[in-house]
Chains A and B, each alone.
Chain A
């Protein structure tokens, strides 16, 4: 398959089941809601070392938030419910509770729930106040700038993590421009995040390493400087590869995000130095979710 001179390889991205929740962070104004959300989603690019993958889904105006203030919706993913609960608790406690004027709400209703402010309330040292409003429990925790309001629980959803595609370009600059265009379009899609810096990762990994202590290492087959040293997947004219990783609440959400992202890259086309679109997988043996590039773009 070739779109605008860009070859869509006959391969697939392989993704894994994860657990996820959506949180709504509000504040006195949009600036401080975003600061808090950025702190919450910081150091959350990959479960490999961060324990979770998190990102900003979108900004919300006052009409979309529980307390009528500007807010930000964030999605956070982890490999299991316990790991997710731990990450939500520590990040909420250190990055949202501490952020001036913030409040924290669940943005996801689910049959399964986990703690949100349930344990943060103890920061109130006995002065915390519980309020049941419309069947949901909230905690009012006295803090130095007033009160920190947080919902007690948030829903947990079965989700999908690790959808991806690779952009093979003639130069580093062209790969970056293409990925930026893709991310701009993909951020319009609900229920997905691209957790890496700016949504783009330049150090895609393969499973395993020559070093026993490591369970992942550089994806040498896609490293352009190793074209003559390893079993390279790259054509001679390709000088740079960048990857976009997508986590979503459902497989369909990732399908949609991949489609608009790849399309945005292809719109730049071969004329802008984009040669191929590929994807990372492990032979289909590890992850139950397969995203076949040509099917998505058909």
Chain B
């Protein structure tokens, strides 16, 4: 069965809250019911069919055609099914997500995977700031699931991240792993300034030494063979990602920090 698809009729002038358009919310709804859902855009609400051309299909597999960077909250709270997006999306992609799969063939705005609890997000492009982070004032970012970014991420990737994994095939921006509580961030490319700033616990796994080096508040713990890494690489094998093709390694240089805080985090660099 083909996917239930939403295609923008025109480039939106205001940001649109797309959170009602998830498999959870659309289950058991007719096409007419779906068309009548009111979406918040700017300071008003507008019917779905006023913004999108709707093509009937499987509600468990939703597709956004001709997306726009003003589409926010796609996949909010979703627990099952899949949402695929052709084009860029706005902020808060997959916020509070608990299960299912989100695939974006484009770039995402800020707070991708914000406070997500499970499921998988794949961004085939670049992601904005605060990937897997916590909302302002909140103390826990993502607590489960996987975010894969094939391009680069913005600043503060994994800010306040508590569990789960963020896999970046490109480069990570400044303050990667800032205020990280636990979980894993892996980067195949380079990292920006202030790597692991205020990091409490968790792991940042790098396949190369960052061009800016390791920050001064991380101490070198020496080179080691760590037994958990082969298990982690085995778990990557089932992902549709460059990480599945990375040759497993267990020899790493270990740096512990941020020693300005409790210093229980680690940056592992392949050697």
Q: Does A283 contact B (CB under 8 A)?
A: no
Q: Contact check, B266 vs A129: say whether CB atoms are below 8 A apart.
A: yes
Size bin of chain A's contact surface: 10 to 19
Task: Report if A144 contacts B (CB, 8 A).
Answer: no
Check A132 for interface membership: any CB of B closer than 8 A: yes
Q: Does A68 contact B (CB under 8 A)?
A: yes
Q: How far is the CB of B13 from chain A (nearest CB, A)?
A: 43
Q: Is B224's CB under 8 angstroms from A134's CB?
A: no
User: Contact flags (1/0) for A40-79 with B, using CB distance below 8 Å?
Assistant: 0000000000000000000000000011110000000000
By a CB distance below 8 angstroms, the chain B residues around A133 are: 228, 231-232, 235
Of the A-B pairs whose beta carbons lie under 8 Å apart in the complex, a sample of 7, sorted by A's number, is: A127-B264, A131-B232, A133-B228, A134-B231, A140-B226, A140-B228, A149-B231
Pairwise interchain contact A138-B231, C-beta atoms closer than 8 A: yes
Chain A residues with CB under 8 Å of B164's CB are 132
Contacts of A134 in B (CB 8 A): 231, 235
Contact A149 B227 (CB under 8 A): yes
Overall SS of chain A's interface: strand
> Within 8 Å of chain A (Cβ to Cβ): is B178?
no
CB within 8 Å for A131 and B184 given contacts A66-B231, A67-B230, A68-B230? yes
Extra inter-chain contacts (7) besides given A130-B182, A132-B183, A146-B225, CB under 8 Å? A68-B234, A126-B264, A131-B184, A131-B232, A146-B227, A147-B226, A147-B228
Known: A127-B264, A131-B184, A132-B163. A67 touches B227 (CB 8 A): yes
Indicate if A103 sits at the interface (CB-CB under 8 A): yes
A149 touches B228 (CB 8 A): yes
Asked if B117 lies at the interface with its beta carbon under 8 angstroms from chain A, I say no
Q: A59 CA to B225 CA in the complex, in Å?
A: 24
Give every chain A residue within 8 A of B225 (Cβ-Cβ). Answer: 146
Measured between C-beta atoms, what is the minimum distance from A140 to chain B in Å?
6
- A146 to B: closest C-beta gap in Å: 6
Asked if A146 and B264 make an inter-chain contact with CB atoms under 8 angstroms apart, the answer reads no
Q: Which 9 A-B pairs have the closest CB atoms?
A: A149-B227, A134-B235, A133-B235, A133-B231, A68-B230, A103-B227, A67-B230, A131-B228, A67-B227
User: In angstroms, how far is the closest chain B Cβ from the Cβ of A69?
Assistant: 8
B-side contacts of A140, CB under 8 Å: 226-228
